[in-house]
A and B are shown apart, each in its own frame.
Chain A
Amino acid sequence: MTDTLSKLTAKDFTSNQEPKWCPGCGDFSVLQQLKSAMADLELNPEEVVVVSGIGCSSRLPYYVATYGVHGIHGRAMAMASGLKTARPELSVWVGTGDGDALSIGGNHYIHTVRRNLDLNVILFNNEIYGLTKGQYSPTSKVGLKTVTSPNGVVDYPMNTVALTLGSGGTFVARVLDRDGKLMREIFKRGAEHSGTSIIEIYQNCPIYNDGAFGVFTDKARKADTTLYLEQDKPLIFGANQNKGIKLDGFTPVVVDINDASVSKDDLWIHDEKDFNKANILSRFFDDPDASEDFLPRPFGIFYVEDRYTYEDALDEQIAQAQAGGEGTLEELLAGPNTWTIK
């Protein structure tokens, strides 16, 4: 490699390992967009590390031609935190799933989010345990019949976006596996964000939970069930872009924007810096199949906040401690109090 190297492409981030995901798996799309985003970001492969836990999605590091570590179940965030603390200059990405991040790794998830290390976390949410063959996950819908819930899931599902905001997240986004272009943009925004970027991907498992997100991808329904968030733009959705959302106090209300009594100026304008609005948006979590009167599911960037990162603050403390010079081995060995025996 030389300095005159031409711009890298997604192909340069492709490892020599053949992905072993099932045909039709949503993970392929994520891998492709990740590699493209890395190329767009002009990342240097030797300065990138992809860290993962266990699960189908956690095979991700093997397929990206950077540094990579495939760890143990639930601990990707902890491993990435140690790596980033030790080596703040590296670009560290985490591949994790709904079971890995939110169930067995739930503790690491919330604490990593609050510490705000500069990590880019891709949370593949397929609402199922795929690698272990089809048990329900913490994000599975109530009533879902699986091998461990033959009578339907009783556990109430976890809301990733709300959990992340509640844990002090500074970058929270959601995207569908089919929305490749948006995904790539969000990966890039997340990478540019200084802090922990949580990117939840609704990823279809064609084998054990096929169509889990069909209500958001089905041509006939998606216009009414999804809401795409764009900065400074009103919240508008619907087949003919005819529906809007306005706030009645703290309550979001769906309005018909063609109705003469509705002014466009009354609509909710998306502001990713607004924590309160992000919290309300995170509660747009209705199941369109379960009620007539549902709010659309938002996609895009919910919230972005500028806050110091853990590793920068720690490095700052070290720099202060070393202001008068770094400690020497001699000083360390002697310590503050010595006496001499002659």
Chain B
Amino acid sequence: MVTSKTSVSVLFAGDSGDGMQLTGTQFANTVAVYGSDLNTFPNFPSEIRAPAGTISGVSGFQLQFGSEAVYTPGAKFDVMVAMNAAALKANLKNLHHGGIILANTDGFDAKNLKLAGYGEENNPLEDGTVSDYTVFEIPVVSLTRKALADTGLSTKNIDRCKNMFVLGTLYWLYSLPIETTIETLRTKFKKKADVAEANIKAVKAGYNFGDETEMFSQHGRYSVGPAKKQPGVYRRLTGNEASAIGLTAAAKKAGLELFLGSYPITPASEILQTLSGLKKWGVKTFQAEDEIAGVLTSIGASYGGALAATNTSGPGLALKAEGLGLAMILEVPLVVINVQRGGPSTGLPTKPEQSDLFIAMFGRHGDAPVPVIAATSPEDCFYSAYEAAKIAVEYMTPVICLTDGYLALSSEPMLVPSPDDLASITPKLSKARNADDPPYLPYKRDERGVRDWAIPGTKGLEHRIGGLEKQHETGNVSHDPENHALMTRLRAEKVERVTDIIPELTVDNGPDTGDLLVLGWGSTYGAIKIAVEQAIAGGCSVAHAHLRHLNPFPKNLGEVLGNYKKVLMPENNSGQLIHMIRDKFQIEPVGFSKVQGLPFNEMEIEAKITDILKEL
């Protein structure tokens, strides 16, 4: 008996040493190659080695896959793999009522029960705690040991394969092929053939267990078909990887060298890590002594003619503020990718939030506007980084690209674009001059208000610039009051003109006019998308529009807002974009904040939509 499903959300949860991230990643790769759409999200403790067996040591990997478009890892999961008691305790509240639990009973012994805080005598599998769920009790460790007994590996090494046993069982349960994982294991353990074979054996044993055991006979298997996706070549990327690739692609497309000055910070470090491995593409990464040096080395590289970027998270953005002001007044290109996390201060380093919008917009001294864009999905991190680079280079300005800890670590399939599909990026370089040409004017502007980029090494363009206010056109130091007013205005107008190259806001879903518009930005895209879809299906007059460009806004934003009776604005902060919208358009949207270090789920937003529509 095979039951067909349109989508399933799975959580792999275990101790941080149980290999749950690897297991989840393998499962994700398999469903991707199989053709389902998917979205993944890892959830691990901020401590590197939290005490084994405890709640704080639980590491999880959640993914949702489906035969229709999938936008989130799922508000709640349908299936949970619990490798120990702590994993069950930490995650049970997020399992759908009636959901499936695959429990490794070897992780529910007296010691594990005690460490999980249940008490040695209280086994949740036996005391009614899980009576509302379908529970499959599998002694994973014992079965793995039995299956691998003849491999000659030590018990310790055999036990390391237990996650592959569970993975095999999951493949069986969801009628998925095991070949993708087998191939990956062969490649991953190329130099350790015995380890590769043991892991493969464990996957097969887990799969065969599904066939052999009586356990599932009542229940049967499931299948989730391939999704109808645009034909083409796909890859799977996390948001941070996508940001790194987006920057590199932009440099290639612009014919520039990519330089990243950066200081490690959670959850942004993978951008530095990914780029440090792209030397084949000529990428230069500079792991600086601090966040300030991260941005200043980038400004130096930008002055030298590189496409320069820096990546960080909230605390680092605060430290880079003075440098951003310098880049702004110098008018050199610079991309800042800020992966938002719960703040202020150290806050919740591993948890997502959208609370850096204000610092991105206003966090510099002096009048120093910069373009700000925000990615909506892991895949969109690629396009946002790319677009940030295009704006930075073509408008000679720093640009802040906001992602967050949720997008950074989530992954989804990305249709691999062809280089020709990517927008052109045209640096405006000054040409060499002869001695008898008129003096070079580094701050002469074109009709868009953009100055040229004069790269050292170019004959005849020797010029001196700095953070002191500059005389219009000549760039010489000037304290003239009228000049300062003029330059302040020209710099702001230039940023405002970026609106000419950004697309108008389109309504993502729903009617062009109606009762309610849900206006989101950044990573809330998936949750709002589903919530609005469901509300529309329920007959509500509701639409969804999502802002990627936060400064400047798309030209038609005011018009779109005016087409609805009410505007709802969900934000993972205490209400930041809503201030900007109120200020600019003098309307009174309904704010909806969530500041728990967790992304919105679609149910919360749908409930809010229903509430508002009731009052209308």
Q: Are A111 and B284 in contact (CB under 8 A)?
A: no
Which residues on the B side are within 8 Å of A64 (C-beta)?
464
Chain A nearest Cβ from B416, distance in angstroms:
5
Interface size class of A (residues with CB under 8 A): 35 or more
Q: Which of A66-74, A213-221, A241-249, A274-282 forms part of the interface with chain B?
A: A66-74
Complex interface: chain A residues within 8 A of B249 (CB):
329, 332-333
CB of B322 within 8 A of CB of A90, answer no
Q: Is there a chain B Cβ closer than 8 Å to A157's Cβ?
A: no
Partner of B259, one of A1, A67, A80, A85: A85
In the assembled complex, the Cα of A48 lies from the Cα of B281 at a distance in Å of: 27
Contacting residue for A68 out of B284, B290, B465, B467, CB 8 A: B465
Is B212 in contact with chain A by the CB < 8 A criterion?
no
Contact B303 A78 (CB under 8 A): no
CB neighbours of B458 from chain A (8 A): 46
Which residues of chain B are near A87, meaning CB under 8 Å?
Answer: 301, 304-306, 456-457
B589 within 8 A of A: no
The residue in A51, A67, A90, A110 that gathers the most chain B C-beta atoms within 10 A of its C-beta is A67
Within 8 A of A (CB), among B394-450: 416-419, 434-435
Beyond A1-B459, A318-B282, whether A17 also contacts B416 by CB under 8 A is: no
Is A291's CB within 8 Å of the partner chain B?
no
Query: Contacts A317-B279, A332-B281, A338-B416 hold; do A71 and B299 have CB atoms under 8 A apart?
Result: yes
Q: With a 10 A CB-CB cut-off, give which of A17, A329, A341 has the most chain B CB atoms.
A: A341
Cβ contact within 8 Å between B466 and A334: no
- In the assembled complex, how far is the CB of residue A159 from the closest CB belonging to chain B, in whole angstroms? 21
Distance, CA A64 to CA B463, complexed state (A)? 9
Contact between A75 and B323, CB atoms less than 8 A apart: yes
Mark out the residues of chain B between 273 and 311 whose CB falls within 8 Å of any chain A CB in the assembled complex.
278-282, 284, 286, 288-290, 292-293, 296-306, 308
B96 contacts partner chain A, Cβ-Cβ < 8 Å? no
Chain A binder among B167-175, B225-233, B559-567: B225-233
The answer to the question of A205 belonging to the interface, with a C-beta cut-off of 8 Å to chain B, is no
Question: Does A86 contact B235, Cβ atoms closer than 8 Å?
Answer: no
Interface hit among A178-186, A297-305, A319-327: A319-327
Scan residues 327-360 of chain B and give those whose CB is less than 8 A from a CB of chain A. 330
Q: How far is the CA of A320 from the CA of B280 in the complex (A)?
A: 8
CB pair B245–A81 under 8 Å, yes or no, is no
Whether the pair A83, B233 counts as a contact (CB closer than 8 A) is no
Q: Does B236 contact A (CB under 8 A)?
A: yes
User: B160 at interface (Cβ–Cβ under 8 A)?
Assistant: no
Asked if B290 and A107 make an inter-chain contact with CB atoms under 8 angstroms apart, the answer reads yes
Q: Are B304 and A82 in contact (CB-based, < 8 A)?
A: yes
Closest to A61 in B: B464
Q: Shortest Cβ distance from B129 into chain A, in angstroms? A: 40
Dominant secondary structure at the B interface: mixed
In the complex formed, the residue of A with least CB distance to B288 is: A78
Which residues in A have their C-beta under 8 angstroms from that of B259?
Answer: 82, 85-86
B241: min CB distance to chain A, Å: 8
Q: State whether A340 and B234 are in contact (beta carbons under 8 Å apart), knowing that A72-B323, A332-B245, A333-B245 are contacts in the complex.
A: yes
Which residues of chain A are within 8 angstroms of B476 by Cβ–Cβ distance?
A: 17
A335 within 8 A of B: yes
B242 to chain A, nearest CB (A): 10
Interface contact A75-B296, CB-CB below 8 Å:
yes
Contact of A338 among B235, B297, B302 (CB under 8 A): B235
**B467: nearest residue on chain A (CB-CB)?**
A72
Closest B residue to A315 using CB positions: B284
Q: Does B33 contact A (CB under 8 A)?
A: yes
Contact check, A342 vs B464: say whether CB atoms are below 8 A apart: no
Q: Is the pair B245, A71 in contact by a Cβ cutoff of 8 Å? A: no
Contact B467 A70 (CB under 8 A): yes
For A78, give its contact among B280, B300, B417, B461 (CB under 8 Å). Answer: B300
Task: Write the chain B residue with the least CB distance to A107.
Answer: B289
| A326-B258 Cα distance, complex, nearest whole Å | 14
**B132 at interface, CB cutoff 8 A:** no
B101 at the interface (CB under 8 A from A): no
Give the CA-CA distance A87 to B308 in the complex, in Å.
12
Question: How far apart are the CA atoms of A335 and B249 in the complex, in Å?
Answer: 12
> Contacts of B266 on A, CB cut-off 8 Å?
none
Distance from B282 Cβ to chain A, minimum over Cβ atoms (Å): 6
Residue from A67, A85, A86, A340 having most chain B Cβ neighbours under 10 A = A86
**A107 CA / B459 CA spacing, docked (Å):** 35
Min CB distance B182 to A, Å, is 15
CA distance A62 to B471 in the complex (A): 13
Q: Could you tell me if B459 and A81 are in contact, using CB atoms closer than 8 angstroms?
A: no
Interchain CB contact (< 8 A) of A82 among B300, B418, B435:
B300
Q: What's the Cα separation between A333 and B252 when bound, in Å?
A: 11
Chain A 288-319 near chain B by CB (<8 Å), digits 1 or 0: 00000000000000000000000000100110
On chain A, the residues within 8 Å of B418 by CB distance are: 330, 333
A266 at the interface (CB under 8 A from B): no
Within 8 Å CB of B464, what residues of A?
15, 17, 50, 61-62, 64, 67-70
The reply to whether the CB of B248 lies closer than 8 angstroms to some CB of chain A is: yes
> Is A111 a contact partner of B236 (Cβ separation < 8 A)?
no
Q: Which residues of chain B (137-152) have a CB below 8 Å from chain A?
A: none
Chain A neighbourhood of B460, CB < 8 A: 1, 46
The residues of A that contact B252 with a CB separation of less than 8 Å are 329, 332
Q: How far is the CA of A49 from the CA of B462 in the complex (A)?
A: 9
Q: Are A79 and B236 in contact (CB under 8 A)?
A: no
Residues of chain B within 8 A (CB-CB) of A15 are 464
The docked-state distance in angstroms from the alpha carbon of A340 to that of B292 is: 43
The reply to whether B235 and A1 form a contact with Cβ atoms under 8 Å apart is no
Decide if A192 is an interface residue (CB 8 Å cutoff).
no
Rounded to whole angstroms, the CA-CA distance of A317 and B35 in the bound complex is: 38
Contact of A339 among B33, B286, B306 (CB under 8 A): B33
Within the complex, which residue of B35, B236, B278, B303 is in contact with A327, where a contact is CB–CB below 8 Å?
B278
Q: Does B468 contact A (CB under 8 A)?
A: yes
Q: For A78, A80, A87, which residue has the most chain B Cβ atoms within 10 angstroms?
A: A78
**Which residues does chain B contribute within 8 Å of A50, judged by CB atoms?**
464
Most-contacted residue by chain B among A54, A78, A82, A327 (CB, 10 A): A82
Q: Which residues in window 542-570 of B have CB below 8 A to A?
A: none
Q: Give A321 to B276 CA distance when docked, in angstroms.
A: 11
- What CA separation (Å) do A67 and B463 show in the bound complex? 5
Q: Is the CB of B278 within 8 A of A339?
A: no
Given A85-B297, A90-B304: A332 touches B456 (CB 8 Å cut-off): no
Q: Kindly report which residue of chain B lies nearest to residue A337, judged by CB atoms.
A: B235
Checking B232, B301, B322, B323 against A83 with a beta-carbon cut-off of 8 angstroms, the contacting residue is: B301
- Chain B hits for A340, CB < 8 A: 231-234
Within 8 Å of chain A (Cβ to Cβ): is B261?
A: yes
Which of the residues B233, B279, B301 comes within 8 Å of A86, measured between beta carbons?
B301
Contacts of B233 in A (CB 8 A): 334, 338-340
CB-CB under 8 A from B302, the residues of chain A are 82
Contact of A318 among B237, B279, B305 (CB under 8 A): B279
User: Is the C-beta of A210 less than 8 angstroms from some C-beta in chain B?
Assistant: no
Find chain A residues with CB under 8 A from B456 CB.
46-49, 67, 83, 87, 90
Q: Is A145 an interface residue (CB 8 A)?
A: no
A326 near B35 with CB under 8 A, answer: no
The CA-CA distance from A327 to B257 in the complex, in Å, is: 13
The reply to whether the CB of B186 lies closer than 8 angstroms to some CB of chain A is no
Residues of B within 8 A of A80 (CB): 300
Partner of B462, one of A46, A89, A108, A335: A46
Closest 9 CB pairs of A and B: A70-B466, A82-B297, A82-B300, A321-B279, A83-B300, A78-B296, A86-B301, A68-B464, A79-B300
- Further 4 A-B residue pairs, CB within 8 A, beyond A1-B460, A341-B231: A67-B463, A75-B296, A82-B308, A327-B281
Interchain residue pairs with CB less than 8 A apart (21): A46-B460, A52-B466, A62-B464, A69-B303, A72-B467, A78-B296, A82-B304, A83-B301, A83-B456, A84-B300, A86-B304, A87-B305, A87-B456, A90-B304, A107-B290, A318-B284, A327-B280, A330-B419, A338-B235, A339-B32, A339-B33
